Amino acid sequence: MKTVITFGTFDVFHVGHVKLLKRAAALGDTLIVGVSTDQLNFSKKGRFPVYSEQDRMQIINSLRFVNFCFPEESLEKKAEYITYYGADVLVMGDDWKGKFDQFNALCEVVYLPRTPSVSTTELIEIIKSEV
Ligand code: CTP
């Protein structure tokens, strides 16, 4: 049994998120997703996500290719999460290419290509400009 883990905010859920999670699930038998908390996002980006962490987790949990998700409270805890959940593979979008190579000591690290032309930031900009 191969366990895959990935992390993200998944705010304003879009098709790029679906495709990343589907491809991550296909790399193993179980997919676990760390969904970053509202507080973690605030400390990273200086703003809170549009959707609350409870809603973002509910969306991720409802996907048939996700086995379960948990709140990612700190970027510093990735090694802890990987070990705790016994992950064999860490998947990240290739916007993070090279940034997680240190976890190769704990598991396989795979960077998947992002889906072109869609991002949460861009969607928020589009929605704002149309109001
Ligand atoms: N992702 C992807 N393709 C996209 C957008 C995101 O594969 N077009 C992946 C990211 O690489 C990451 C996961 O989806 O592994 C969660 O990304 P997240 O940062 O939550 O979404 P973004 O749309 O990139 O959000 P933002 O614009 O705020 O950075």
- CATH number of the domain that residue 79 is part of: 3.40.50.620
Helix or strand run (H / E) with residue 108: strand 108-112
Which residues form the domain of 49? Answer: 3-130
- The per-residue pLDDT for 61 is 98
Residue at token pair 């960077």: 111
pTM of the full structure: 0.96
Residue 75: pLDDT over 80: yes
Mutate to test the pocket of ligand 1, among 10, 15, 17, 27 (most ligand atoms within 8 A of CB): 17
Contact 24, 60 (CB under 8 A): no
In ligand 1, the atom with minimum distance to the C-alpha of 19 is 7
Quote the number of domains for the chain.
Answer: 1
The answer to whether residue 23 scores a pLDDT higher than 80 is yes
Q: For the chain, what is the mean pLDDT?
A: 97
Residue pointed to by tokens 């491809």: 23
